[in-house]
Amino acid sequence: MGSNLIKRLVLAGHTIVSLDNYFAGSVANHIPGVEYIKGHTKNIENLVAESYDLVFHLGEYSRTEKSLTEPELVWDLNSAGTMAVLEYCRKRNVRIIYAGSSTKFADDGAGKYQSPYAYSKATNSELVRNYGQWYGLPYAIAYFYNVYGPGERGEGPYATLIEIFKQKFLRGEPLIVTAPGTQRRIFTHVDDIVDGLMLIAEKGQGDDYGLGADESYSVLEIARMFSTDIIIGPEKPGNRMSANLDATKSKTLGWSAKRRVEDYIKDIVKNKN
């Protein structure tokens, strides 16, 4: 997510400083002309001395089911990190755009409580709003829906679904779908997310900027777009069943999702064949 946003910001002529501990990122994604600082967001005060016009706070722990096995890490990366970033912004009155998580809207709001990740992101969104009320901090909060596209991870414990399926399909391996397979997701191309963030940066203010595609699919439907070689694996805790999106506020800025995950997968399948 970060590298794709940075590419767009550089093209627009902005000066960029990136703070990253590379928990999920990679130096291979560095963009020429950008200053990169390696470090934890909880140390931002010591690592980023200057004041900037805008902070995009995107770099947090972002795996739902995996978070149930490492809650202390989630707290360190998400809660401690976000608190420090908010303090940095408050002291300098720097506007912040925070990447909330759409998990809190799932299952009629119950998604917020289904994993340490979902809970930490939901409470962080509340904290950002409170900083706006308590201190007059200018902010906007965007909610991403299952981002896919260039830069996704396909391997390891923090890999993402579309890239996992893509890599297994290209290797001729069966796709493993977590039971029951009917859990629905909204998949949004990273370029559409960046489009939304650029608009929010330009004229967004406040909460509730949903950035998600118009269609939702079950995980099993997505797997079948790739292959018929599918294995249904065991259910996992923290696996939300529904996808709920309200993109009304984003659309008032002129945003809409222009890419479709079906087309993305069709291109992968066609290029392999």
pLDDT digits (tens, 9 = 90+) for 3-20: 999 999 999 999 999 999
Tell me the mean pLDDT in the region 139-151. Answer: 94
Q: pLDDT grade, residue 106 (50/70/90)? A: confident
More confident site: 158 or 148: 148
Annotation: CATH topology of 2-272: Rossmann fold (3.40.50)
Within the chain, strands assigned E span: 17-20, 35-38, 54-57, 95-101, 139-144, 147-148, 175-178, 184-185, 188-189, 206-211, 217-218, 230-233
Q: How far apart are the first and last CA of the chain?
A: 29
Q: Enumerate the β-bridge partners of residue 35.
A: 17
pTM: 0.93
What pLDDT, in 10s, does the model give residues 28-49?
999 999 999 999 999 999 999 8
Of 8, 93, 19, give the one whose Cα is nearest residue 52: 93
Radius of gyration from C-alpha coordinates of the chain = 18
Domain ranges of the chain: 2-272
pLDDT of residue 259: 97
